[in-house]
């Protein structure tokens, strides 16, 4: 048996947990549940560049609750919903993404958020895939530069093909190859792999191999159980083993809770009491 690993640092994704509450009440609810850190998908899916008052209100809610925003998605269209990203979509969506990236960088800098996630975008019928990939690289370099101005890393993740059949980045290898391509193109070296264990498990990957191979390039981890995307313990994944292996591999960053609770969000964290990460 391996030696016990230090407990992971959990943050709560407020775009999937505590959604029974209005956005501005969720940071305080997370704090009441014992969390000091949170993350978010882009909170305004119809507004890539919302009025300053909305950003100010979110900043104040985070501050009042004493919660640190540790991860934020760039604009990605409707999430949850049919969209999976905007940066590879030609036309207005690409323009909206770039405008959002600059705004997100300013907001991230103002709240000390150090990880910004860029979802790729679905394949578009009638548009050449190489054209989409060239646009995506251009916009990812733009995002990397925006993140760099904010003192943040740019995150790139793989989704699973079963739930996102038109999304082209569906393996850890594809996501990591894209990370390396962006780093080479930007010259900044601030792109990192977002290791979402739920998506990778649902995609059939060997999670031990993913951790052992890619932990060094990982900038953030997200978890939910598989199948079902519920809380740890609701499915088949052994999070004591997986989180312990991450610790053994040298990962010391945040682990985002990105699961769908079966009831009230505040009642969904009991699994932490029995979690014992091991190597």
Whether residue 258 lies in the annotated active site: yes
Residue 240, C-beta contacts closer than 8 angstroms, at least 6 positions apart: 275, 276, 277, 278
**Paired tokens of 38:** 């949170």
Q: Do 18 and 26 form a contact (C-beta atoms < 8 A)? A: yes
Crossing angle, helix 129-149 and helix 92-111, to 10 degrees?
A: 20
Q: How many CB atoms lie within 10 A of CB 215?
A: 19
Q: 31-42: string of b/e by CB count within 10 Å (b at 16+)?
A: beeebebbbbbb
Q: In angstroms, rounded to a whole number, what is the distance separating the alpha carbons of residues 231 and 259?
A: 6
Which of 39, 93, 157, 205 is catalytic? The answer is: 157
First-last CA distance in the chain: 7
Rg (CA), the chain: 18
**Cis (ω within 30 of 0) for the bond into 227?**
yes
CA–CA gap between residue 60 and residue 154 (Å, rounded): 24
* Cis peptide preceding 80, ω within 30 of 0: yes
- Please say whether the beta carbons of 173 and 205 come within 8 A: no
Angle at 80 between CA 195 and CA 265, to 5 degrees: 80
Residue 27: count of CB within 10 angstroms of its CB: 27
Q: Active-site residue among 39, 93, 205, 258? A: 258
130 as an active site residue: the answer is no
**Token pair belonging to 16:** 């999937």
> What are the catalytic residues?
157, 258
């Amino acid at each position: 048996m391996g030696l016990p690993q230090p407990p992971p640092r959990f943050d709560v994704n407020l775009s999937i947990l505590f959604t029974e509450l209005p956005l501005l009440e969720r940071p305080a609810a997370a704090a009441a549940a014992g969390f000091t850190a949170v993350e978010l998908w882009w909170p305004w899916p119809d507004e890539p560049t919302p009025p300053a008052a909305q950003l100010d209100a979110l900043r104040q809610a985070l501050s009042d609750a004493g919660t640190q925003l540790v991860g934020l998605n760039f604009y990605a269209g409707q999430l949850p919903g049919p969209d999976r990203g905007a940066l590879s979509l030609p036309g207005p969506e690409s323009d909206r993404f770039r405008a959002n990236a600059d705004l997100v960088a300013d907001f991230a800098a103002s709240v000390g958020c150090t990880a910004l996630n860029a979802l790729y975008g679905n394949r578009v019928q009638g548009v050449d895939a190489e054209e989409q990939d060239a646009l995506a690289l251009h916009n990812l370099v733009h995002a990397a530069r925006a993140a760099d101005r904010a003192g943040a890393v740019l995150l790139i993740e793989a989704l699973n093909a079963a739930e996102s059949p038109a999304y082209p980045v569906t393996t850890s290898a594809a996501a990591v190859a894209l990370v390396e391509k962006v780093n080479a193109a930007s010259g900044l070296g601030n792109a990192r792999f977002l290791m979402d264990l739920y998506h990778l498990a649902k995609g059939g990957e060997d999670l031990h191999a993913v951790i052992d191979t890619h932990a060094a390039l990982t900038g953030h981890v997200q978890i939910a159980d598989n199948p079902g995307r519920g809380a740890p313990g609701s499915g088949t994944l052994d999070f004591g083993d997986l989180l312990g292996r991450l610790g053994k591999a040298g990962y010391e960053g945040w682990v985002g809770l990105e699961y769908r609770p079966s009831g009230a969000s505040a009642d969904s964290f009991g699994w932490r009491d029995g979690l014992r990460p091991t190597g």
